[in-house]
Amino acid sequence: MKFGVVVFPGSNCDQDCFYVVKYVLKQQVRYIWHKDTQLNNYDCIILPGGFSYGDYLRTGAIARFSPVMKPLIDFAHKGKIVIGICNGFQILLEAGLIPGVMLRNNNLHFICKDVYIKTENTDTPFTNLYKHDQILKIPIAHNEGNYYIDNKGFNNLEANGQIVFRYCSIVGDTAGEFNPNGSIQNIAGIVNKSKNVLGMMPHPERSSEKLLGSLDGLNIFSSIVRWIKSH
Amino acid sequence: MVNKEVYRTLGLSDVEYKKIVDILGRDPTPTELAMFSVEWSEHCGYPRSKNLLKLLPKKGKFRTLIGEDAGGIIVDNIAIVFKMESHNHPSQIEPKQGAATGVGGIIRDIFTCGARPIASLNSLRFGSLQGPYNKYLLKGVVDGIQFYGNCIGVPTVGGEIYFDESYSGNCLVNAMSIGIADKDKLARARAKGSGNLIMYGGSSTGRDGIGGCSVLASKEFKHNEEKRPTVQIGDPFTEKCLIEATLEAIATGHIVGIKDMGAAGLTCTTSEMASAGNTGMDIELQKVPRRESDMEPWEIMMSESQERMLLCVRKGKEEVIKKIFKKWDLNIAVIGRVTDDGIVRIKDKGEIVAEIQAHSLTNAPVYDIAYKEPAYLKQINRLSLSKISEPGDCNRVLLQLLSSPNIASKKWVYEQYDHMVQTNTVVLPGSDSAVVRIKGTDKAIAATTDCNSRYCYLNPHRGAQIAVAEAARNLVCSGAEPAAVTDCLNFGNPEKPDRFWQFKNCVEGIVSACKFFKLPVVSGNVSFYNESPKGAIYPTPTIGMVGIIDDTRRICTQYFKEESDIIVLLGRNKEDLGGSEYLKIIHGLVNGDAPRLDLKLEMSVQQAALESIRKGLVNSAHDCSEGGLAVALAECCISGERIIGAEINLNYNFRSDVLLFSESQSRIILSCREESASKIRDIARKHGAPFRIIGRTGGNKLKILSKKITLVDLSLRDMHYKWTDSLQSLIQA
Amino acid sequence: MIEAKICITLKKTVTDPQGITVKHALESLGYKEIEEVRVGKFIELKINTNKRKTARRHLDEMCKKLLANPVIENYGFAIKEVK
């Protein structure tokens, strides 16, 4: 099984994702330069966090036009696995692979801290090793994580079970006070309609080793491995 | 012909100008004059501080690397490179860009050496938050650090923030960065090999910060407005690309030398690389990528445009290097070549505009500066406790201290910094020191910055010693062995003898403490002229220190972990209220002498704590600093993810305020399981460190009793609220 | 009521990293003829007054004090009366 981590100019979590896949998960992984267009050999592609093109203009807006994106969209349309983390999520939104947009955090600051998220759908390639409603401690680190979608779009997400993670308290309360950035209905991560593309703001690669304080994110990567092996 | 007014405006004295004419054997061209003025300024040439700086020790337990853009140590096969640098004056004028370019500059110093930057820290000082401009500065500086640091993907893992009126009108922004490299793959900042190529990589050159380094750093500025256009703009995106391109280029083995263009840009890189390699250089300015077409030669040589590098590349390998920089969409151009005549020769359209021996530029004249003990000292060192009323309610005093912005949690600040990127941060901000692991090893690096400038104001020599001792103590509390130092020396106008006396005494204090602890000073920076019309800042010799943790399973943090643990105090409680946060906040006094410091006692306490931690006996370790024993205990209770109370029983004849808030040095609070206490006692005895069991963890209160009388009885919730929310409320008020 | 449109851009002598990056992006989309891109801020505000002179003076102050950073930015504004 082979993972690919896309490197855009300004990506800065590419090496972190690479490290987790290679040394923690012990799977094959390669970097994919944003000008590469050959994606046939990969089973899963990770769009990592960072500040692609400095977040200039709008987060993800320029990266979305990188040469790798067209084949990546085809890759996703074929049902292959794509996960966008943080800036990767923002790029997926700009590319239209996942519905919605990202606004600035409602406190207008960058926020870096551990948050708790609740697993609302375990029937996806990314969450099949979690229990329903399992609470995960995973850090966020972003300026623009305030996810927004109109009412109709939101109803669709809900009806299709596309909402995978919501911000919550340590015991799973999803009240507004546990929402760090103002995202609609505490959304922290969603999948596309066919559930093979996940975008999430929290960084699972930062919570995949005991030494770093939490192992809760590792099962996202392990779930992917399990799903691909069984398909 | 140059008139007096011109060279004097550039910061050169009549004697220096005459010296330049002697060196050249003729009048300098405008470009040459500009080049001398920056190279001989304090910022680049250290003419006023060099004689003292050479006293700093250079050897320690680990092999040291000294003399390049940043210094470092070698641990096993890994070079750990680090440096701290000031960006005070630019931040005072334009806080966001000033701080951002400060961060960018120090990070460039690290990757120029071939090391990947893995952590940043910063030491910040502002005037009181009651002042709206100080508040604007704090917000702007934090914004600049997050804007730049987060984007380039180097975690900002620690540092310190202090507030004192002496910084009103002249804030301090000291940025530190740490990088690691394979010890055999470090790059040098030199040009060697006649015929090799000089290449320019990175952003194009504009008029940013022209003369910034000599003009901004050498005058007490009263008219900010006039100097505004010299502020540089940071571009972290380009710097991130530049990090990757530079490290890729160095990895090819084709780079003979490389240096980042910081202060004085091309002037500094060309002359210092040539001088370091005992070579010369021919440069054609027309080949320099530039943003504006009508720039004068001296403007190109002085420009401080950010995110630029000068490379010395093996002849014939330029295409390899070009390809790497182009991949990252960066400018790259051959602008000259190395010669063997020792002369930096700058041409514009083929015409020579400067022709100077590289060594004469880099060997700035060195001065012995007059110094005199400041008049204020005798007056201010007096402190009579009998004239200070003992507080009736110590609970209220403790809550007030926990709300003081110097003590309160800095969460509002560090949550805006990405402190986890690169997935190495094992101890997050908020403990005594930050810890980052080294991937692929069992080792980790602990880092801290430290300086209590109020102590330095009251007693420069001892204050500086305390800064070293406390930084080491902070590292020890995380389980690290202190290894090496970088210093950032912030002082007033050195031409005033009382200011220079402070500088001299602080440097001597650092020298004596570092020698005692066998800590080398591997890099550093001097920032003079930190004055506003109201006077000089407190002498602020910021100490950045790095320590080594051998086993990542033995890392310690400051907060209590378990109920019913034993609480141990290593060290002695003494009467040291001079310069304390208590006197300042509660009585409005900055008086007395700095706390006493017995270096032997300090060493024994640190060794006892370190050995206990390394043997896995300790659950938490926290040093006592600002606010004394009571504040340190409160922090042990409330600074962790889980809050845990404590009951402390002491037995002293001190006044309550002395016992609770005295800032006696060389004290560490440990917590451990019951069965470990006797083992720690034995270790302490072996090292000669005073050991005392002072209480137990548990409950939802902090209670402190002395001779069975309750002095403090506070709910954790009240303390936690005050400590966590004060800074944010002050900023948003 | 007076409506003001304020435009804030980086001074010409100041690098505009955002503008340069956007220019590169547009070029890679095929728009090769672009000479320069500068990115700035656009602010609209309405003032409850009919005195154009006072409005202008106040707008100038607002730009200097808060809306623009005169260290690195230029500003300009246009006003018109609206109902």
Question: Do residue B437 and residue A56 have CB atoms under 8 angstroms apart?
Answer: no
| Helices marked H in B94-207 | 95-111, 132-152
In a domain, B283, yes or no: yes
The answer to whether residues B437 and B426 touch, using CB atoms and an 8 Å cutoff, is yes
Report yes or no on B112 lying in a domain.
no
Residue B9: its pLDDT value, please?
A: 80
For B261, the token pair is 């263009």
Measure in Å the smallest separation between the Cα of A184 and chain C Cα atoms.
Answer: 27
CA–CA separation, A29 and A1 (whole Å) = 9
What is the average pLDDT score of chain B? 93
Q: What are phi and psi of B145, to 5 degrees?
A: -65, -40
Would you say residue B519 lies in a domain? no
User: For an interface test with B, which of A16, A34, A51 has the most B Cβ atoms less than 10 Å from its Cβ?
Assistant: A51
Query: How many independent structural domains does chain B possess?
Result: 2
Q: Output the six-digit token pair for B600.
A: 């032997």
What pLDDT score was predicted for residue B569?
98
Q: What percent of chain B has pLDDT over 90?
A: 84
Most B CBs within 10 A among C10, C14, C24, C27, hence the mutation to make, goes to C14
Q: Say if residue A50's pLDDT is above 60.
A: yes
If we measure between CA atoms, which residue out of A143, A122, A114 comes closest to residue A215?
A: A114
When mean pLDDT is compared across B99-103, B384-388, B461-465, the lowest value belongs to B384-388
Q: Does B291 touch chain C (CB under 8 A)?
A: yes
Q: What local confidence, expressed as pLDDT, does residue B2 receive? A: 61
Q: State percent of chain A over pLDDT 90.
A: 97
pLDDT given for residue B219 in this prediction: 42
Mean per-residue pLDDT over chain A, rounded:
96
Q: Does B653 fall in a domain? A: yes
Cβ separation C72–B97 shorter than 8 A: yes
Quick one: closest CA in A to B329, which residue?
Answer: A9
d(CA B427, CA B434): 5
User: Distance from B546 to chain A by nearest Cα, in Å?
Assistant: 20
Residues 6+ apart with CB under 8 A from B605: B473, B570, B571, B666, B667, B668, B687, B689, B690
pLDDT digits (tens, 9 = 90+) for B188-213: 999 999 999 999 999 999 877 775 43
How many beta-carbon pairs under 8 angstroms link A with B?
80
Q: What are B291-323's pLDDT values in tens digits?
A: 877 888 888 998 888 899 999 999 999 999 999
Quote the distance between the C-alpha of residue A180 and its chain's center.
17
In a domain, B649, yes or no: yes
Distance separating alpha carbons of residues B572 and B691, to the nearest angstrom:
8
Given an 8 Å threshold on Cβ–Cβ distance, is C28 in contact with A53? no
First CA to last CA distance, chain C: 6
At residue B225, the pLDDT reads 39
**Confidence check: pLDDT of A231 > 60:** yes
DSSP B504-531: HHHHHHHHHHHHHHT--EEEEEEE---E
What's the domain count of chain A? 1
Task: Assign B192 to helix, strand or coil.
Answer: coil
Burial profile B526-535: b = 16 or more Cβ within 10 angstroms, e = fewer: bbbbbbbeee
pLDDT value, residue B130: 92
The Cα–Cα gap between B300 and B298 comes to: 5
Asked whether residue B215 carries a pLDDT value surpassing 60, the answer given is no
Where residue B230 falls among pLDDT bands split at 50, 70, 90?
Answer: low
Bridge partner list, B116: B180
Is B494 among the domain residues?
Answer: no
Q: Identify which of A106-120, B65-79, B225-239 has the greatest average pLDDT.
A: A106-120
The four Cα atoms B295, B300, B305, B311 give a dihedral, to 10 degrees, of: 140
- C-alpha dihedral sign at B105, B108, B113, B116: positive
**Per residue in B481-519, pLDDT tens?**
999 999 999 999 999 999 999 999 999 999 999 999 999
Annotated catalytic residue: which of A86, A120, A144, A168? A86
Alpha carbon distance B685, B634 (integer Å)? 27
Instruction: Please report residues of C whose CB lies closer than 8 A to that of B306.
Output: 15
Q: Which residues of B touch C27 (CB under 8 A)?
A: none
Confidence of residue B733 (pLDDT cuts 50, 70, 90): confident
Residues in B touching A50 (Cβ below 8 Å) = 153
Q: Which of B337, B362, B387 is the last residue of a domain?
A: B362
Chains that touch B (3 or more CB pairs under 8 A): A, C
Cα–Cα distance for residue pair B358/B265, rounded to 1 Å: 15
Q: What is the structure's pLDDT at B211?
A: 54
CATH number at residue B566: 3.90.650.10
Angle at CA of residue B622, ends B617 and B627, nearest 5°: 155
Q: Please tell me if residue A14 touches chain B, with a CB cutoff of 8 Å.
A: no
How far does the CA of residue A153 sit from the closest CA of chain B (Å)? 31
Structural domain containing residue B20: 4-48+188-362
DSSP string across B375-430: THHHHHT---GGGSPPPS-HHHHHHHHHHSTTTS--HHHHTTS--STTS-EEE-BT
Percentage of chain B beyond pLDDT 70 is 97
Size of interface B-C (CB pairs under 8 A): 37
- The bridge status of strand A2-7 relative to strand A28-33 is parallel
A36/B contact by beta carbon, under 8 A: no
Q: Which of A8, A51, A27, A7 is nearest to A218 (CA)?
A: A27
* Bridge partner list, B209: none
In the stretch 496-525 of chain B, residues with CB closer than 8 A to chain A read: none
C-alpha span between B521 and B511 (Å, rounded): 9
- Looking at residue B298, its pLDDT comes to 87
CA C2 to chain centre: 18
Distance CA B237, CA B233 (A): 12
- How many Å apart are CA A200 and CA B15, to the nearest integer? 65
b/e string for B699-723 if b means 16 or more Cβ within 10 A? Answer: bebbbbbbeeeebbebebebbbebb
Token pair of A110 as six digits: 């960058």
Mark yes or no for CB contact B228/C71 under 8 Å.
yes
Quick check: helix, strand or coil at residue B142?
helix
The CA R_g of chain A, rounded to the nearest whole Å, is 16
* A62/C18 Cβ within 8 A: no
DSSP assigned state of B542: E
Model pLDDT, residue B558? 97
Class of domain C2-81: alpha beta
The more confident residue out of B7 and B201 is B201
pLDDT-derived band at A221 (thresholds 50, 70, 90) equals very high
Tokens 């210093």 belong to residue: B487
User: How confident is the prediction for chain C on average, in pLDDT?
Assistant: 89
**B224-233 average pLDDT score:** 55
- As given in the structure block, the two tokens for residue A49 are 């966090």
User: Given an 8 Å threshold on Cβ–Cβ distance, is A141 in contact with B552?
Assistant: no
- Which residue type is seen at A5? V
**HEC sequence for A86-155:** CHHHHHHHHCCCCCCEEECCCCCCCEEEEEEEEECCCCCCCCCCCCCCCEEEEEEEECCCEEECCHHHHH
What backbone phi and psi angles, to 5 degrees, belong to B173? Answer: -125, 100
Cβ separation of B238 and C17 shorter than 8 Å? yes
Nearest to residue B521, comparing CAs of B5, B1, B60?
B60
Cβ proximity of B68 and B113 under 8 Å: yes
Strand partners, B205: B290
Q: In what order do the strands lie in the sheet with B434-437?
A: B425-427, B434-437, B444-450, B540-549, B481-490, B521-527
Spatial CA neighbour of B49 closest among B453, B520, B489, B457: B489
B463-478 burial code (b ≥16 CB/10 A, e <16): bbbbbbbbbbbbbbbb
Count the residues in chain A: 231
pLDDT of residue B299: 86
* pLDDT confidence tier of residue C43, bands split at 50, 70 and 90: very high
* DSSP secondary structure letter of residue B305: -
Going from N- to C-terminal start, the domains of chain C cover 2-81
Domain boundary among B321, B345, B362: B362
pLDDT at B242: 95
Virtual torsion, Cα B640, B641, B645, B648, nearest 10 deg: -20
Sheet-wide strand order for C73-81 = C40-47, C2-10, C73-81
**Which one of B299, B334, B362 terminates a domain?**
B362
Bridge partners (DSSP) listed for residue A112: A141
- The domain in which residue A48 lies consists of 2-230
Main-chain dihedrals φ then ψ at residue B338, nearest 5 degrees? -80, 140
B278: left (phi over 0), alpha (psi -120 to 50) or beta: left
Residue located via tokens 């514009």: B348
Q: Within the 196-225 window of chain B, which residues sit less than 8 Å (CB to CB) from chain C? A: 203, 206-208
Is residue C42 packed enough to be buried (19+ CB in 10 Å), middle (13-18) or exposed (0-12)? exposed
For residue A10 the two structure tokens come to 């300004």
Active-site amino acid positions of B: 43, 87
Helix (H) or strand (E) holding C43: strand C40-47
Under 8 Å between Cβ of A114 and A139: yes
Q: CA–CA separation, B582 vs B631, rounded Å? A: 10
Please name the residue of chain C whose CA is at the shortest distance from the CA of residue A55.
C18
pLDDT of residue B221: 39
Q: Which of C16, C20, C21, C22 is the best mutation test for A, with the most CBs of A within 10 A?
A: C21
B69 versus B128: the higher-pLDDT residue is B128
